[in-house]
Amino acid sequence: MAHYVDLHSHFLPGLDDGADDFPTCLSMVRALSEMGFSDLCATPHQFAGRFQPPLDQVRLTFDQANREIAKLMPEVRLLLGAENYWDDILATRLRQGEPPCYDGGKAFLFEISPVVLPPRLEAALFDIRVSGRLPVLAHPERYSAVQRDPAVAEGLSRQAALLVDLAALSGTGDRAEVKTARRLVEEGLAHAAASDMHAPEDDRSVAAGLAWIDKRLGAEVVTRLLSDNPRRILMGELP
């Protein structure tokens, strides 16, 4: 029975570099459902200067997709979040106490520059945690500081939930990312894994990532990273 929770994907149409139209959105949702995901979080980019769809437009698109998908696939539950780039807009929203969180909860997804670690990141995340929010770091394996120094991931994992991409675990793509994603999961530093799906054809690498966790670490770890921990994260808890 499907029970995985996907905390990171781009299936909402026409908002960012994910799905272009509703049929594409539908085939992505269907593919994730067939892989065993029951709860799908839409996390369109919020990235100043690149993808900054107005939040009311994001909500409208989500409500529309949600209505259609409820009719076609009632077994799937959709939630709305955002992938917030660590920029001035996010900083302002955090100061105002309203970062775009997962479905109005306490947890929010964010990403940083792949090449430069923001100064005082750990301290800033600590302050965010003290304010009652849970930061969730997208694809930690992509950041060069995390690739170079295992201590960086250790420090970050105490202040933020680390959410690796399944495609990186599958072994396809950039070698440093694959190596780092696998190390984070093997060492127990990754709190959860997600699809980060942008197109229907990403389904193969997502499925291969799930298969890699199962083969390397067993079904219990699959359940922890794809179901138990994501559910705790949605409740604002650092697993």
Positions that interact with Fe ion (CB under 5 A): 83, 196
Least distance from C-beta 220 to Fe ion, angstroms? Answer: 27
Least distance from C-beta 215 to Fe ion, angstroms? Answer: 25
* Closer residue to Fe ion in complex, CB, 6/83: 83
User: What's the CA gap between 212 and 132, in Å, rounded?
Assistant: 34
Least distance from C-beta 194 to Fe ion, angstroms? Answer: 8
**Would you say the C-alpha torsion 215, 217, 223, 226 has a positive or negative sign?**
negative
User: What's the CA gap between 227 and 219, in Å, rounded?
Assistant: 11
* Closer residue to Fe ion in complex, CB, 43/159: 43
User: What's the CA gap between 76 and 167, in Å, rounded?
Assistant: 22
* Short-list 140, 168, 144, CA closest to 156: 140
* Closer residue to Fe ion in complex, CB, 83/87: 83
User: What's the CA gap between 65 and 80, in Å, rounded?
Assistant: 11
* Closer residue to Fe ion in complex, CB, 87/196: 196
Least distance from C-beta 30 to Fe ion, angstroms? Answer: 20
